[in-house]
Structure formats: structure tokens, C-alpha cells
Amino acid sequence: MPMNTTWTAQEPGSDPVLALPFVREFLRLCDDGFRMRFHERNGGNLSYWLRQEEIRMLPEKEPKGSWIPMEAAVPALGGEYFLITASGSCFRNISYAPAENTCIIRLNDGGSSWQLVWGLRNGGRPTSELESHLQNFAIRAQQPERESRVMYHAHPASVITLSNLLPQDSKTVTRALWSSMIECAFIFPYGVGVVPCMIPGGAKISGQTAEQMQTHDAVLWAHHGLFCAGKDFDSAFGLMETIDKAAEIYLKFLASGQKRRYTIPDAIFEEIAQALGGKMNMAYVHGGGDDPADE
């Protein structure tokens, strides 16, 4: 998708869609992610799954244009509406010119194609990672307490650095992050899944990501970035921030050139699991991963 070179600021009052609370929160997250340096150029993408009452708030609910087929169908999401960043959109432009850089789409009943409801004013299509966003929503909706409304993909530098250092294995990566600061085990008790380095976009990476999302809170794409799921914008953004910060702490410790001298004992993770009523990835509670810092 060629990138636009000029943008016209879109005033919030110019379009009723921009006044909707979920749209405002979506745009605020884009600005915050850009300020956090999670998004170089057109890196990253964001999606929001609309609730029924939010669909009713849309001034125009009927899709326009043709049905565009997707590589992989998501039958569980047939007929659902999503607000999503446009392919090629740079996060620094999204809240400045939202109608060009985002869109609301509706899926057909079989969840195999999408149609435009709002946005993409200069043409284009939703993010190249559309399939990953949708499959992640579908897989998490199978577990009611883990259902997500926000899917957030970004390129935080510290997190990407981990895939240059650590074995690309979910337990090792999760333990390295949990061991960096104690809040991590509370904030992502199911840990971080890892998908090995592969070409972004399309069915292969989205299938493997959804598989990891079934049992983890976030998924690291090796040498690429991170996918975070959340029940709302604060949860998804907070997860991205927390994992980024834990990765930064881990890297600072490694940069000190010292071996790990003090660690969070497994007994503490057991206590956290108890405090969370067992809603934690128990396979990661006891060490034995392959962390080079422990060698």
C-alpha cells in the first residue's frame, strides 16, 4: 500500500463517528503508542471489536462497497463489526486524520469476507495483520473470562531484542519477564507465547498466533514485535507497557555483565497462583527454563 504524503487534520466535530467513546479511546491509544516509540513508520496495528450497543450508535450501519474475501475465515465472528487501523497507516497520523487511517468493517455471516462501513476515505484496506486480529478475538471468545475486545500489535524495541538473546521458547521468555519484576506475574499470569520468525501478514502467522493466544496473554513474534490482547484499551495498552518495561529491566540486568545473583523464588510464584485462584499458567510457575542469565 503506497503511503500518502499529505494529510488534512480532521476536527473531532466534523464527523459523529469521531465523538463515539470507543473511537476516542482507540485514537488516544494510537497517540500513546506513538509517544512510547512502539511504532516506527507504519509499524503496528490496532483493532477493537464493537459491542451491540456501540453498533447501534453508528450513524451509518450499512456497509458499502464490495465484499472482500479473507485468506482464512473466522465463522465465530460472522456479522460482527470491528474498528481497525488501515494497512500502511503510520501511528503518528492516525488521530490526526482518522477517517483515512482507520476503518470500521463488518464481516459477512460466514466470517469469510469483510465490507467497509466507515473510514478508508482515500481507499485502501484494513491492516495486513487483519487475520491475526480476528483469529485472536475468535479464539479468546471461547473462554468467557479471557474474551478480548482490543487487539494491539506493536514493535517495542526491548521486546524485539529478547528474540536476539533468548531461546524462542514461551517458558523461557515468560520466566525471564516474570523474574524481572513481581507485578508481571499478576499482569500476565498466563505468560507470553512465542511464534518463531516468519513473514508477517496472512494465514500462517495468524494461525500460529491464535494457537498461542489460546493459552497466553500476549504473543511475541520473534524479531518482529508483540501482540497483546485486552478486555479494554487500558488492559491491552497496559500489557504492552508492562512487557516492554520488564524486557527493558531484563536487558539492563544482562548489560550489567553480571550473572543473576538474586531471584524471585518459585514459592512466590506459587503464592501468586494461589492469590489468582489458579488462573495462571502453572507450567511456568517452576523454573528450569533455558535463560542464559542463569548459566
Give the catalytic positions in this structure. 129
| Nearest of 148, 81, 140 to residue 111 by alpha carbon | 81
Options 54, 129, 241, 291; binder of ligand 2HA; rule CB under 6 A:
129
- When asked if residue 156 is in the footprint of Zn ion (CB under 5 A), the reply is no
**Interface map 50-79 toward ligand 2HA (x if CB under 6 A):** ------------------------------
Nearer residue to ligand 2HA within complex by CB, 167 or 200: 200
- 3-class DSSP string for 98-157: HHHHEEEEEECCCCCEEEEEEECCCCCCECCCHHHHHHHHHHHHCCHHHCCCEEEEECCH
Nearer residue to ligand 2HA within complex by CB, 101 or 281: 101
- When asked if residue 225 is in the footprint of Zn ion (CB under 5 A), the reply is yes
Residues 155 and 237: beta-carbon distance below 8 Å: no
CB of 188 to ligand 2HA, least distance (A): 21
Beta bridge partners of 103: 84, 119
Angstrom distance (rounded) from CA 195 to CA 192: 10
Options 4, 10, 108, 128; binder of ligand 2HA; rule CB under 6 A:
128
Name which of Zn ion, ligand 2HA, none residue 156 binds, using a CB cut-off of 5 to 8 Å depending on partner kind. Answer: none
- When asked if residue 42 is in the footprint of ligand 2HA (CB under 6 A), the reply is yes
SS3 of residue 16 by DSSP: helix
Nearer residue to ligand 2HA within complex by CB, 185 or 205: 205
SS3 of residue 83 by DSSP: strand
**Interface map 220-259 toward ligand 2HA (x if CB under 6 A):** ----------------------------------------
CB of 205 to ligand 2HA, least distance (A): 8
Q: Provide the grid cell at 213.
A: 493466544
By rule CB under 5 A, what count of residues binds Zn ion? 1
Q: Which residues contact 288 (CB under 8 A, 6 or more apart)?
A: none
Nearer residue to Zn ion within complex by CB, 113 or 128: 128
Angstrom distance (rounded) from CA 159 to CA 245: 9
Nearer residue to ligand 2HA within complex by CB, 45 or 135: 45
* DSSP notation for 202-244: SHHHHHHHHHHHTT-SEEEETTTEEEEEESSHHHHHHHHHHHH
Footprint on this chain of Zn ion (rule: CB under 5 A): 225
Which stretches of the chain bind ligand 2HA, using CB under 6 A?
A: 42-45, 127-129, 153, 200
